[in-house]
Chains A and B, each alone.
Chain A
Amino acid sequence: MAASTGGGRNFNFKVVLLGEGCVGKTSLVLRYVENKFNDKHITTLQASFLNKKLNIGGKRVNLAVWDTAGQERFHALGPIYYRDSNGAILVYDITDEDSFQKVKSWVKELRRMLGTDVCLCIVGNKIDLEKSRHVTVQEAESYAASVGAKHFHTSAKMGRGIEELFLNLSKSMIEKAEENVGRGRPGNNRQSGVTVVDDEAEPTSGKSGCCG
């Protein structure tokens, strides 16, 4: 799975986008990835999973951005998506108070399920619609601080704040990963049955013992 590998200078991060429907999760990630990628790289119009390679301070970071379904009927499927993720971007629509409440519930759920290992970013999208803002900046930022998350203002339409968001998130994820390595606990691999440690020592040995 997409576990962070803190051993070398390469990082693989899984970032999951959560939020109510129509808050612009997909637009956000599309804007981010598309701006950097050539058109030919996007061979499909598939926008639910995107890869982004970054180089931050000499550290190569591979971001795997998982978009999730925003529809309420798929809410229960959240855990399947966000498990093992290193970062989560919780998007709300600044014009929609409900979407912010949804973010709150997501935060709770994520903290419960993933603990503190996950880096959270709360994103108020659609700042181009500042006029009809319903969620105050102060409320959002104070909430983000209270749960240990960063807060960003973005506009997928205008392409504002998105780079900043991902860069920040990546940095904090790197920090966290290095922290974990220092503590000797890389990531949380709780439920995956077998993890093959990628140290070239035993590339094949894991296979025999796993058919329980």
Chain B
Amino acid sequence: MASKYDEDVYENPFFTKIISEHQDHLERAASSKGILCIPKFSVSSHASVTEVDITDHILLPTKENNNGEGDGGGEEDDDYITISGKYLHYFSYFYGKSSIVSELFVVSILEIAKGASSTVKHSSPASYQQCLDLLWSRPDRQKVRLSLDKIMESFAASYDSLEGESLRSIVRKSARHNRQYMENLKIAVETYMMNAVHKQLFRVITATMANEDAEINKITRNLVDLQLSDLGIRKIFSQNMIPAKKELGLLNRYSTPMGRLFCIKRVVAALTKPPREVKKEKRKDSVSMMTTDDLLPILIFLIIKSDIPNWMANLVYMQHFHFAKSSDDDEFGFYLASVEASIEHIRSGNLKNETMTLKRERWNSIIIQDPTDPASLSKSLSPLHTSIDDFFKLVQEGDEQKVVQMLDRPNKTTEEVQLKLCHPLCSCDKCDRLLAALRNNSDLVTAYTRDNRGYTALHIAAYYGQGMLIDQLVKHQAIVDATDYLGLTPLHLACQRGYQNVMCVKALVFYDANLNMLDINSTNEVGDTPLHLAAKWGYESIVKTLLESGADSTIQNRKKQTAVYLAQNIKVQRLLQLAADGLDLRPIRPKFESEAARPRQGSSTSSTSGSFLSTLRSPSISAKLDTDAPSFTVQTASLEEASEKEKHRHKEKLFKAIIEGDIQLVKFYLGIDGSHGIYDDLDDEEGSVVTMSPKSLADMCHPLCQCERCLNIQKASRYSKGLVDVNSRTSTGYCPVHMAVLHNHSDILGLLISLHADISAQNHKSLTPLHLACCVRNSLTTDMLIKAGAKLDIQDMNGDTPLLIAASNGFINGVHMLIQSRANLNVVNARGNTALHEALKRDHTDTAACLLKAGADPRIKNIHSQLPAQLTQDATTHALIRSAILILEDKAKERQKREKLRANSVIKKTKRDGEKQVSIRDLFSAFEKADLDNLQNLTSAIKSFNRDSALKKAETRDRSQTVLSDMARRHSIVSFNKGLLKKVKSLDRTDPLYTYSLFQEGCRVFDAQDNPNHVSRELDSLEKLTRSRDDSLNHVRNFSCYEGSNDWTIIFQKQRTPSGDLETENPEVKSCEKEADKMEGIVENGQDSDLCYETNNDEARPVLTKSMPASGTNFYGDVQGPQSQTAPPSITISTTDCNHETEQANLQAFNDSSSDDQLFSYLETDNTLPNANDSDSDTEQAQFKISIDCNSDLGNVLPQTQQFSSAANSSKGDTPHLIYGLNHESKLPAEVGLPSTSVHCDSGFLEESSSNRS
């Protein structure tokens, strides 16, 4: 009952309260076999629990019932009394468990007990309303009620249709008169129905029964190696076992209870099928008769052997969902009862005890006479095997003490023997004898000994759930990941067996999680991971544990089944599904770790600080682990510490051995099996001496790989427990190599070099062994190091290279060697000294001479600006230095020369040969007499030449050209000389001849006043231009597009006469001059890069005289479209300049003087011009517009109109442009109003304007 109730009683507040506060009542209940009633969680969590409540909930049997026989349970109609004295007529029968206090869950007893005064009785509900109240009185059940109501309604609605012409009526009609037929029909209906609902129904049943199934599975998995004889099954039945088992395996394939029952019947039939020989005999032969006494064990055996993980669910299914009666019913009933009995028997756990003794006997017999394995047979004959056997047996039984004892024995004896030895590596007779004795010790068992199934002790421990031993074994270096011959790791076994209660899985997983020792997803030979096994057998907690530890739920086994697929239990399925969906369960992991640590601590009784982990593991692995799992729990940290200590001890020993120069001992500590090694017997298989360094451990495929190669390495490594890394360091960073060099042990150095020790390792002062060798002036070690390829130019803390040290020590041999091996001669240390400085400072003149000879540069100054020469008074040295300098300089010169020569010659050569490469012979013939330097120069020259040729391909020049041209263009634009502008004459479309005649008049005036030749020349060009006017206009337009990118600024400087007057006496002349200038910008070509302007600007002439209002003002002009000629003459000036007023006045005066003239007034805003629009907003600030009309009445002065329309663009400044229009034409078409940056001068209009006037 309790098991069917799904609440965890330990979460029940009522229960916890009793446990924590009312222990006395509990004990009383326990002592008198009372019943503890615990209200449902939903009830008890609401009410506050008082002591009275508790006493009300403990039922003590009244005297009469206390003497019931046994605890087999049964149907009872007993009276109980509560502790508080209330009588309770208790209406239930129950199978009293053997536990003393039966926990019973009563839904609402708390409330009833509170309400009732004396006798509490479950009165059955009398009315419908009462029933409803009973069921749905709690508000939290309303939801369920609603949904149920709905279902009921729909059922009621559909019931009518069922009532009609339905299956039922069919059944009835056809079976009215035939009872047998009716029965069959019932079966048919049932089968039909059950088949339809089977999937859902059975799933529900499985889920409900999951816990019990898991429990059974746990037991059955632990019994899989059960033998027929264990159960006392007679041999006569054994031959029927296989078909029966096959039959039973199909059980889950049948959908209906009926089918399953038939399946079981077939199983029994198969079992009782008489063997052929027996058939011929008399059937009454009692030997072949199967009684229940036979049947039960056989069924038990089959159930255990069958791979069906959901027996309980099957049982329930068959028992409760088979309704139709059949003629076989009674038989089914019996079989079912038998199966149930079998399961019950398995559950009871008696089987285990029963078979234990049998098994133990069998164990021994197997070992001694295993016919299948001759190898093991031969082994079993040896006494060694027997001890292993004993060992395994002890492991199986979980005899921790003895196991530890056995494991410790070899170590102890080894240690003892070692103490007796003269020297750890001594090989004198006495020592040999001692070692031989040790070797022959048959009691030597280790944690990695295997039995004939390939099981290690760890397997056995996992198999039999000896959780505590796992710790011990791992402490003794058991391989957590070892696989047996079927590819099963201990974790597989533990998962299959469901031993999470004894922490096996957790313990194993713990090692995996923290040490990466174990592949949690390792697969056995059919591809099952531990997760598969745990899921299949429904071990929820194991699945959880595995998932938390990062097991992959998506792995498929060889049948392409994932763990989810195999899971029978819905809870497990859900867990796995979650994991598969990527919901990481790992956040819980820290908690789990501590959980895992706790039982481990508790279980490993003898492990004090848990120093078991890597005590004897090679340091490289633990070092690796360090990096792999930086976040250890406190405990593992302590483990690391312990192992660190161990390591340290060994290291110390090693260093001591090195200092003492005991090469054998060094070899020993480094794990090299010399010919006198203690453990050489263990390497017999490998044949030769194995160099076992941690490095080779690192060479393994995986730290725990089991392949042949790795196994050998492992094997060797196991015995070199005290192994120290060749590159392990002291606290000051000294390596063994350092030590060997420092203490002049060349032999050890040689050994270390042969072990691939890092010979350029630097200690805390960045000293390499070579530094040290130079320090101690040992030529031999120096030589060895150099020959071994030590780096020569490493600088230590002070920037000293070995050469510097050798030089300062006057270690001339070292200097020689270093020079010969081409150490850098001119390295400067922290004090700025070269080797030469150092040598001379300490008066090692011969060293210095040597250095100088080798080409050390004496011209380098140290930080005190001292030359090497300044450091010595030795005359010969000075002379040497001088000569060296000379030589160096000469050499440098020579080199330069040669370089040039060679380069030239080579270039020539290559040039001559075209693309052909210079052949080696050519080189040699050419430079036969040249020394090595020259050859090098040559090659470098060749190289550089080649590079040059390669550079040709790069088109850098092209790129720079474009940039340069762009820059040049910009520059040319900026520094544009307007004087170079070509004249452009934009003429009106009116008759050129007429214009010409008019113009000639004007020219005459010019001629008279100024340079006639000049003007006439200009006129000629003007003529030409007139013809091509339209073209030029087009160009101008094109240019306007371009204009935006070029900044054009033309500065007009107002030139005033010294009088400050506005030259009123001769404005016309000026204007005329201006006009004659004909500054015109022509855009000759639309091409953006080729802008050419030519201007014939007479420098001598004043530019813009009277009309410029302010000095130093920049004007940016916009050409405005002309107004109509009929506008009254006026001059409008608007400016922001400070001189505005005076200018205005002046202009006014000027205007007065020429009042008759027609005025061309131009308004600043002319929408016909796009450019004007652009700059509209900007032009408002500073605009200057002048319209001047000159009166032709002023004698011979030509009527002129000057129009400047300048729109300042200064506020923006980005595209200031000028339109400088000199319009002599009133009817200038809109398009003639040139866009910015054009200068337009037209003389043709003069005629027109005058004609207009006339």
Contact = CB atoms under 8 A, between A and B. Distances in A.
B165 interface: no
Contacts of A74: 293, 296, 341, 345
A77 B334 contact: no
A138 interface: no
B289 interface: yes
Contacts of B197: 207
Given A46-B272, A71-B293, 5 more contacts: A12-B330, A49-B334, A77-B345, A112-B69, A194-B323
Contacts of A47: 289-291
Contact of A80 (B70, B271, B289, B337): B337
A69 B292 contact: yes
B952 to A, nearest CB: 90
Interface residues of A, number: 53
B680 to A, nearest CB: 56
A107 B345 CA distance: 22
Given A39-B283, A196-B323, A210-B321, A79 B72 contact: yes
A81 B334 CA distance: 8
A109 B189 contact: no
Nearest to B172: A200
Interface in B769-794: none
Interface residues of B, number: 60
B1050 interface: no
Contacts of A80: 337, 340-341, 344
B239 to A, nearest CB: 14
Given A45-B288, A203-B168, A62 B269 contact: no
A26 B330 contact: no
Contacts of B333: 1-2, 14, 64
- With most chain B CB atoms within 10 A of its CB, the pick from A70, A194, A204 is A204
A34 B274 CA distance: 17
A166 B348 CA distance: 34
B193 A48 contact: no
Nearest to B279: A45
A200 B182 contact: yes
A-B pairs, 9 with minimum CB distance: A64-B330, A44-B272, A48-B292, A77-B341, A49-B334, A46-B272, A26-B291, A80-B341, A193-B320
A198 B334 contact: no
A48 B344 CA distance: 18
Interface of B: 68-70, 72, 74-75, 93, 155, 167-168, 171-172, 182, 185-186, 189-190, 193-194, 197, 201, 204, 268-269, 271-274, 283-284, 288-296, 319-321, 323-325, 329-331, 333-335, 337-338, 340-341, 344-345, 348, 350, 354
Interface in A33-88: 34, 39, 42, 44-49, 51, 62, 64, 66-71, 73-74, 76-77, 79-81
A113 B75 contact: yes
B291 A67 contact: yes
Chain A interface mostly: mixed
Contacts of A1: 329, 333
A14 B330 CA distance: 8
27 contacts: A39-B283, A45-B283, A45-B288, A47-B290, A47-B291, A48-B290, A48-B294, A49-B334, A62-B330, A74-B293, A74-B296, A76-B72, A76-B348, A80-B337, A80-B344, A109-B74, A192-B319, A196-B323, A200-B182, A203-B168, A203-B182, A203-B185, A204-B190, A204-B193, A206-B323, A208-B155, A211-B204
Nearest to B331: A49
A203 B269 contact: no
A192 B320 contact: yes
A207 B274 CA distance: 39
- With most chain A CB atoms within 10 A of its CB, the pick from B69, B75, B194 is B75
A108 interface: yes
A112 B321 contact: no
B158 to A, nearest CB: 11
A201 to B, nearest CB: 10
Nearest to B334: A49
A12 B334 CA distance: 14
A115 interface: yes
Contact of A207 (B190, B273, B345): B190
Contacts of B284: 34
A47 B288 CA distance: 10
B273 A44 contact: yes
A136 to B, nearest CB: 25
Contacts of A115: 75
Contacts of B186: 203
- With most chain B CB atoms within 10 A of its CB, the pick from A46, A193, A200, A207 is A46
A181 interface: no
A123 to B, nearest CB: 17
A108 to B, nearest CB: 6
A132 interface: no
Nearest to B342: A77
A171 B609 CA distance: 77
Interface string A178-209: 00000000000010111010101001101110
